[in-house]
C-alpha cells in the first residue's frame, strides 16, 4: 500500500525570502537524503487559498513512511522551519486546518512529469455512505475522458490528515477535509481550459458543487501550482 502525501504551508508574511527558499529546497531535496521519499515536487500555490508552499511526495509503504519520520533530515532540516517552538520557524497555523493531506493507493496513479498539480479539498456530507463516495470517486476519476488536458484524476479519502504519525492509525479526530481530488494538467492553459470548459464536472465546480449528487459535497477548497523538482 502506497501513501500519497501533501504538506501545505502557510508562511509568515514577514518570513525572510532566503528562509522560504531554504524550506522549498529542503522539501525538494528530501528524496536525496531519504530515498524512501518518492515523487517529491514543490510549488507555490496560485489559488486564492491562504497557503503558499505545497510539497507533494509519496512512500511505497507505511514502513517507508516510518523511515522518513525517524530520519534526522526530517527532524533537523524540515522541522527547522515548521515546529511551533523552532527558532527558525516560518510556517504559521493555516486557516485550511492542519496542512497535511493524503491518501493510500495501490499504484502511483498520481504520477506525472512537470506540469500543474491541482488539489481539490473536499468535505463530504457525514451522512453520505461509502457507496455514494465510491460513486463520486468513479465519476471524478473518469473526468479525463471528458477533459483532454487533464492528465491525472485521483479521488480518495484523506486518511493522512489524521493518521499522520504512521500513515495508518488515526492519532486525532476526523480531518476537516474528508477527501482529496488530485488532478494533473500539462500546463496552466490546460487547467484554465478545464475550468472554463463545458465538461460536466467543470459545470459542477463552477456551481460550487451545489446540489450535485444530493449535496454530497458540503465544502471545498482548491490549491494549484507549477510543480518543480520531481
Contact residues: another protein, CB under 8 A: 69-72, 75-76, 79-80, 83-89, 93, 165, 171-172
Q: Are 42 and 55 in contact (CB under 8 A)?
A: yes
**Closer CB to another protein, residue 69 or residue 139?**
69
**Closer CB to another protein, residue 75 or residue 207?**
75
Q: Shortest Cβ distance from residue 68 to another protein (Å)? A: 10
**Closer CB to another protein, residue 163 or residue 190?**
163
Helices (H) and strands (E) in the chain, counts: 7, 9
DSSP letter assigned to residue 215 = T
Q: Shortest Cβ distance from residue 171 to another protein (Å)? A: 7
Q: How many whole angstroms separate alpha carbon 71 and alpha carbon 12?
A: 26
Total Cβ atoms within 10 A of residue 182: 23
Q: Shortest Cβ distance from residue 76 to another protein (Å)? A: 5
Q: Shortest Cβ distance from residue 59 to another protein (Å)? A: 15
3-state secondary structure 6-23: EEEEEECCCCCHHHHHHH
**Closer CB to another protein, residue 84 or residue 126?**
84
Q: Are 55 and 119 in contact (CB under 8 A)?
A: no
Please give the grid coordinates belonging to residue 1.
500500500
**Closer CB to another protein, residue 71 or residue 117?**
71
Q: Shortest Cβ distance from residue 49 to another protein (Å)? A: 21
Task: State how far the alpha carbon of 93 is from the alpha carbons of 70, 90, 171, 172, in Å.
Answer: 23, 10, 19, 17
Amino acid at each position: 500500500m502506497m501513501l500519497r502525501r501533501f504538506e501545505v504551508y502557510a508562511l509568515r508574511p514577514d518570513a525572510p525570502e532566503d528562509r522560504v527558499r531554504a524550506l522549498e529546497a529542503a522539501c525538494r531535496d528530501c528524496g536525496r537524503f531519504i530515498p524512501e521519499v518518492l515523487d517529491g515536487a514543490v510549488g507555490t500555490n496560485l489559488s486564492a487559498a491562504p497557503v503558499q508552499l505545497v510539497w507533494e511526495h509519496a512512500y511505497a509503504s507505511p514502513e517507508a513512511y516510518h523511515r522518513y519520520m525517524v530520519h534526522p533530515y526530517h527532524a533537523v532540516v524540515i522541522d527547522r522551519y515548521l515546529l511551533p517552538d523552532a527558532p527558525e520557524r516560518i510556517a504559521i497555523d493555516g486557516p485550511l486546518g492542519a496542512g497535511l493531506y493524503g491518501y493510500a493507493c495501490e499504484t502511483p496513479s498520481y504520477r506525472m512529469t512537470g506540469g500543474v498539480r491541482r488539489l481539490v479539498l473536499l468535505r463530504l456530507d457525514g451522512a453520505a455512505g461509502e457507496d455514494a463516495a465510491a460513486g463520486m470517486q468513479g465519476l471524478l476519476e473518469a473526468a479525463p475522458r471528458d477533459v483532454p488536458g487533464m492528465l491525472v484524476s485521483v479521488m480518495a479519502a484523506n486518511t493522512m490528515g489524521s493518521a499522520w504519525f504512521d500513515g495508518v492509525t488515526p492519532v486525532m479526530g476526523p480531518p476537516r477535509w474528508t477527501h482529496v481530488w488530485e488532478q494533473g494538467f500539462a500546463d496552466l492553459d490546460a487547467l484554465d481550459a478545464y475550468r472554463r470548459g463545458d465538461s460536466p464536472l467543470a459545470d459542477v465546480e463552477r456551481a460550487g458543487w451545489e446540489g450535485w449528487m444530493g449535496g454530497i459535497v458540503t465544502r471545498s477548497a482548491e490549491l494549484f501550482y507549477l510543480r518543480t523538482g520531481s
